[in-house]
Amino acid sequence: MKRLSQFISAAMTLILGILFVIMKEEVVGICLTIFGVALVIMAILDIIRLSIISGVIKAVLGVAVLVIGWLLIDVALTIIGIVLLIYGVFNFVKRLVGKKRGMKLWAIILSIIEPLICIVAAIFLITSSGTAISLTVTVAGVFLIINGILSVIGAIAGKKKN
């Protein structure tokens, strides 16, 4: 990759990260709209190629994302939260009841921390999906900003990207 294209790519990553941090809900809405429109376009292309069933399925999904996208995200986060809660409770009980003979106290405590974190995260997802979406977008934005800054430094330093 040439230095200029590296710099442009790094700047775009940095800008995208900043947008993610500043415009949390708007970014999710834009992504949902783009995804829905992409599904509808793919549906049209499938129907043109005579893949009628695939096209109809993509069209229905695309329209569903466009019309009830936020509801779909809330439902998906609730389902993920429930699954995570079941997983956390199951592992918590399993590790509490499991063999502890010969284990040090710190090892027992560490083995219980992971399921407890799962349970707390699950409760967070179930009870406040809007906040979970906002937090996730913010974290993704921060990672994009860090990646963008490192890429800008790499482009300025002339470091070649793999």
pLDDT at 160 over 60: no
* Predicted pLDDT of residue 129: 67
User: CA-to-CA distance for 116 and 142, rounded, in angstroms?
Assistant: 26
Burial of 44 (0-12, 13-18, 19+ CB in 10 A): middle
Q: Counting beta carbons within 10 angstroms of the beta carbon of residue 20, is it exposed (0 to 12), middle (13 to 18) or buried (19 or more)?
A: buried
In a domain, 43, yes or no: yes
Q: Does residue 82 lie within any of the structural domains?
A: yes
Q: Is residue 162 part of a domain?
A: no
Q: Can you tell me whether residue 132 is helix, strand or coil?
A: helix
Task: Enter the tokens of residue 158.
Answer: 């002339």
| 49: containing domain | 3-157
Structure tokens at 47: 């129907």
Between CA 64 and CA 42 the distance in angstroms is: 14
At 35, is the secondary structure helix, strand, or coil? helix
pLDDT in tens, 98-140: 766 777 777 777 778 888 888 888 887 778 766 777 777 888 8
Its sign, for the CA torsion 107, 109, 111, 114, is negative
C-alpha 162: how far from chain center: 25
Tally the domains of the chain.
1
The alpha helices in the chain, defined as continuous H runs, are 3-22, 24-48, 52-97, 105-127, 129-157
pLDDT category at 44 given cuts 50, 70, 90 is: very high
CA 147 to chain centre: 17
**pLDDT tens column, 7-38:** 888 888 888 888 888 887 777 778 788 888 99
According to the model, what pLDDT value does residue 41 have? 92
- Position 79 pLDDT exceeds 60: yes
Does residue 96 surpass a pLDDT of 60? yes
